Structure 1
């Protein structure tokens, strides 16, 4: 199960990459990297959803991706650092962690469509 959560986290990292790529790509090589990041991100998310409920995987994926994108924009592209934005990212991450913990309590592995 730990490897599955690692897949979700790596998928979210690639999501941050492709979201930033969509906004900032200017060359063919950058667009190619963005497309590769999209493919890896969704492939990992799909693999993870075979072991963890789809709703939980998607919520964690999007939550981590959103938080990562906002932080990356602040760090890499000098987006405004707004205390309220940071507070809300913290709330989002708490929700993501709570979803993960809730899923752990209800751990039921999906095996071959059972």
Structure 2
């Protein structure tokens, strides 16, 4: 795994924090922490998208965030556990992993564009 995919992974994990923070933040310092995590998450995504295909980066980023947020809400915040959620998260993760596996490390330049 190269550095750019690590950026995507970290951004997705940080996304879990800020999405949950949007629901649970109440005090000013909590909202400040949410803002910092949003900025950090998007900074990492922008760094990764400089070297990887942006569509794949975004799909993997949101897949990690979605699966992680749903799982964390069930495990830590009392969201109802449903087998259907787990199956759908597994399908989502299979798609995310599949996209990562079939993606070239360097994006191909558009036709007619010189680098």
- Report the TM-score, using the length of structure 1 for normalisation: 0.92
Aligned counterparts of 2:46 and 2:67: Cα–Cα separation in 1: 21
Aligned counterparts of 1:9 and 1:108: Cα–Cα separation in 2: 17
SS of aligned partner of 1:80: coil
Matched, 1:108 2:75: no
Q: 1:52 touches 1:110 (CA, 8 Å); kept in 2?
A: no
SS of aligned partner of 1:79: coil
* Alignment root-mean-square deviation, CA: 1.6
Q: 2:51 touches 2:105 (CA, 8 Å); kept in 1?
A: no
- Report the TM-score, using the length of structure 2 for normalisation: 0.91
Q: 2:5 touches 2:48 (CA, 8 Å); kept in 1?
A: yes
**Aligned twin of 1:75:** 75
Question: 1:19-38 residue pairs with structure 2 within 5 A?
Answer: 19-38=19-38
How far did 1:52 drift?
A: 0.3
Divergent runs of 4+, >6 A: none
Q: 2:12 touches 2:64 (CA, 8 Å); kept in 1?
A: yes
Matched, 1:97 2:97: yes
Q: 1:5 touches 1:48 (CA, 8 Å); kept in 2?
A: yes
Q: 1:50 touches 1:110 (CA, 8 Å); kept in 2?
A: no
Structure 2, unmatched stretches of 5+, are: none
**Aligned twin of 2:59:** 59
**Aligned twin of 2:47:** 47
Structure 1, unmatched stretches of 5+, are: none
